Amino acid sequence: MASSMRISRFISRSVSSSSVFSRGLSSRVCKYSTNASSIEEPIKPTFHVDHTQLLIDGKFVDSASGKTFPTLDPRNGQVIAHVSEGQHEDVDRAVAAARKAFDHGPWPKMTAYERQRILLRAADLLEKHNNELATLETWDNGKPYEQAAEIEVPMLTRLIRYYAGWADKIHGLTVPADGPHQVHTLHEPIGVAGQIIPWNFPLLMFGWKVGPALACGNTIVLKTSEQTPLSALYAAKLFHEAGLPPGVLNIVSGFGPIAGAALASHMDVDKIAFTGSTATGKIILELAAKSNLKAATLELGGKSPFIVCEDADVDQAVELAHFALFFNQGQCCCAGSRTFVHESVYDEFVEKAKARALKRVVGDPFKSGVEQGPQIDSKQFEKILKYINSGVENGATLEAGGEKIGNKGFYIQPTVFSNVQDEMLIAKDEIFGPVQTILKFKEIDEVIRRANNSRFGLAAGIFTKSIDTANTLTRALRVGSVWVNCYDVFDATIPFGGYKMSGQGREKGEYSLKNYLQVKAVVTPLKNPAWL
C-alpha cells in the first residue's frame, strides 16, 4: 500500500493498541489545553530489550572499552537500557569486518538473485515483527505507536522489498564508439559504506540507507543515533536471521564526535552517507575530504515553505498545514515550518489554525488516539522553548501554546505564531519542534522570492485549486520535493533530497542506487568488425 494511503488512514482513524503493552491501564488521553499541567503515568511496554551490544561480523559484542551509555524514555527521562558505546577501536573492528566481507566474503560475489532472496526474507521478518519494532521505536523516540506501527514499519518493509527487486536489475550499457572498439560499462558496488542515521525516524532512515547499499552488493558499517539505538539493532538481527552473511551489515552505537567522526574519516571506508543537521553535515563532508576523499551523500536540514493560495479551501488547508508541521512532534527535516498564507484568507486561517492546535491530542504515545508525544530529549526540548521565547521577544503573536506540559518528560504544547516576519529566528532557523509560524503574502512573485530566500532547499508544499499557479510554483521553488495539495508523501520509488544547504545526492527510488555504485568503462579493440 502506498505511504500516502497509510498516512491518510493514520490521520482519519485510530487503531487498537498492540498486545505488547500492559493491559488494564487507563486508556484516557488528554487533549492539549493552555492549562494542561500533567501527563499521566506512562504505560510500560512488556517487551524486553535484548539487543544492546554492538553488532560486528555477525555477532553481538561488547565495546572494546566495556563502556555503555543509557538510552532514555522521553516520556519521563528514565533509562530504558544501557547500550554498548562504540569508539574508535570498535569502528576499526567493524570496518575490518566489512572490508573482509566485501573483498573476500560471499556478498558481492553472490548472484544478484541470491542477494534478492535474502532481502525478501528480511522484509518478511520485518513484517512479522512489526509490533516489536514499533514498540522499540516509540519507547526510544516518543513518536505515537500508531504512527510507528501503521506507517513507519510497513514503509520500512516496503523499502526493503523495493530494493530487493532492484538487486538483479542493476547493469551497465553497451556504448557505441567512433572507431573499431567494443565498449561497455560495468556498474560495480562501491565497497564499504559508512552510514550515519538520525534519531527522528530511526527505522525509516535505516531502510533508506541499508536497502540500496545491500542491493548493489556493498557491505556496511552503520552508526545509530545515541538517542535511539535500539530499533536498528533489532532490525539488523532480523537481517541476519534471513541469511545475511557475517560482516555485511555491522551496527555501531555511539556518539557522533567519536564514533561518527571515526567512521567519516576512516581510510578504509569507501563511501559515507549521513542524515542529520546541516552543521554536522559540514563536519562529515570535511572529514570525508581530509581522509581518503570518500564519496558523500548528505540529507540535511530544512525550513520548508507551505504556501496557501487565495483560492484555498481554508478548512482543508488548515488541516494539511497542521499535519505538515506537527507530524512526528515537528521533528521532521522537511516539515512545512514556514506557513505562507495569502492575505485574503490570512485572518480566517490563523483563527482555524489556532483552534486546530488547541484540539491536538498530546499524551503518552503508547495510548490510542494520541497525535503528539514528547520531544526526543532535554536538549531538544530546551532548544524549542528558547525559539518560542525568541518569537515572543521579536514581536510575533503567540496564538496558542508556548509552554511545556507537565513536570515529567519532554512534552511541549502545540504552538502557533502569527504576524511572523521573515527576519525572525523562528522564520529562518530549523526549530525541529511543534511550532507553526504563519506569514502573510500578497502576490505569487513575492512568495516565490521569500520562500526561496533561505539557505535551505529541502521541500515545499502548495495548496491551490489552480493548475497554473501550481505549475508556476513547482518550477520556481528551489527545493528537492514539492507536494501539491498533499504533504509528506513518501513512497519507496520517490527520490528525496535537497538543494543548497539541505544536502547533496538523493535517497530512495532508482536515484539512490547511484550513491552505492561505481561506473567502469571497458574498451576492447575489434578486428575486422562486420559493423560499428
Active-site residue numbers? 299
Q: In whole angstroms, what is the distance from residue 417 CA to residue 121 CA?
A: 48
Q: Which SS3 state, helix, strand or coil, does residue 95 take? A: helix
The residue type found at 467 is I
Q: Which residue has the cell 490570512?
A: 346
> How long a stretch of residues is the chain?
532
Q: In whole angstroms, what is the distance from residue 490 CA to residue 483 CA?
A: 10
Q: Which residue has the cell 567494443?
A: 182
- Alpha-helical segments (H) within 400-463: 425-428, 444-452
- H or E stretch at 394: none
Say if CB 306 and CB 335 are below 8 A apart.
Answer: no
Q: In whole angstroms, what is the distance from residue 90 CA to residue 87 CA?
A: 5
Say if CB 37 and CB 406 are below 8 A apart.
Answer: yes
DSSP state letters, 30-51: -B--TT----PPPPPB------
* CB neighbourhood size of 320 (10 A): 23
CA 304 to chain centre: 15
DSSP strands (E only) in 300-337: 305-308
Say if CB 518 and CB 102 are below 8 A apart.
Answer: no
DSSP state letters, 132-200: HHHHHHHHHH---HHHIIIIIHHHHHHHHHHHHHHGGG----EE--SSSEEEEEEEEE-SEEEEE--SS
For strands 411-412 and 456-457, give the pairing: unpaired
- Classify the C-alpha dihedral 191-197-203-208 as positive or negative: negative
Phi, psi of 214 (to 5 degrees): -70, -40
Q: In whole angstroms, what is the distance from residue 325 CA to residue 415 CA?
A: 10
For strands 499-500 and 411-412, give the pairing: unpaired
Q: In whole angstroms, what is the distance from residue 394 CA to residue 425 CA?
A: 8
